[in-house]
Amino acid sequence: MDKKHLIHSFFEKTLSFEEQQQFDLLMETDASFADEIIFQKNVKMAITLNERSVLKRKLQSFEPKKTKSFKSWYAAASILLICGLGFYFSQNSSTSVYNDFYQTYPNVVVPTVRGENGTDIKSEAFFEYDNGNYKKSLALFSKIYNAEKDDYALFYKALSQMELQKTTEAIVTFKQFDLSKNNAFTPFVKWYLALAYLKKDQKENAMPLLKTLSQTENPQQEMARKLLKELE
């Protein structure tokens, strides 16, 4: 069976029973085939994340503006607050941009339906991640990575930390990733590491990652360009 046909049929959800069996076998035994599937899933997800980000920002722009019916004393107090907090907001602009662009990254590795995928630790980890149980997924992905050193486990370990607001820990985890591999996860590691830096108000660390993403062809190139425009 032609692999390209299998990949096309998989994404079109038209695999026959026999094709599904062959597809599953290749996912288990052919690393390059599995990488290609993950890469294409990531490309599709990058498009989805981009669309969500655009929608999120549009919705924010539609928020009702305050009317001019404030009392004069309130207006004066507001001026004082602006003067007093101006420095604070200038220092937290990176965090604001982070909130605009951050999206929870979904599971693109394996479908997880408890009872159908067995009881292996990988299925359990993704089941917990998919259901927002990030403390459990963090523990499980950590265990997998410590035992097997698989890139997907390291990536989703860091993502679980991001969801738990453990940004400093997530940065440490992302930095363990070997970016020279340039595999299906690499552009997303750079993207989420850059976002983590922004949340910690470390724009100087985020910019090189975003510039690299914006200058090379990858699933996050367009998002990186948009984020750079917001920061520059």
pLDDT for 51: 58
Higher pLDDT, 17 or 93: 17
Residue 68: half-sphere exposure toward Cβ, Cα within 13 Å: 0
Residue identified by tokens 């998989």 is 10
SS3 state of residue 66: coil
pLDDT grade, residue 130 (50/70/90)?
Answer: very high
**Are 50 and 223 in contact, with CB atoms under 8 Å apart?**
yes
pLDDT grade, residue 50 (50/70/90)?
Answer: low
Looking at residue 111, its amino acid is P
Residue identified by tokens 């020279």 is 180
pLDDT grade, residue 133 (50/70/90)?
Answer: very high
SS3 state of residue 166: coil
pLDDT for 9: 79
Maximum mean pLDDT: which of 15-24, 103-112, 134-143, 222-231: 134-143
pLDDT for 92: 46
Domains of the chain (ranges; CATH) run: 3-36 (no CATH), 93-231 (1.25.40.10)
Write the pLDDT tens digit of every residue in 206-224. Answer: 999 999 999 999 989 999 9
Higher pLDDT, 15 or 176: 176
Q: Quick check: 42 pLDDT over 50?
A: yes
| Tokens (6 digits) for 221 | 């190139």
pLDDT for 19: 81
Q: What is the mean pLDDT of residues 12-35?
A: 80
Angle of CA points 134, 153, 191, to nearest 5°: 80
Higher pLDDT, 131 or 88: 131
Q: Is the pTM of this model over 0.75?
A: no
**Are 46 and 76 in contact, with CB atoms under 8 Å apart?**
no
pLDDT for 3: 82
pLDDT for 112: 58
pLDDT for 173: 98
pLDDT for 93: 65
Q: What is the mean pLDDT of residues 57-66?
A: 46
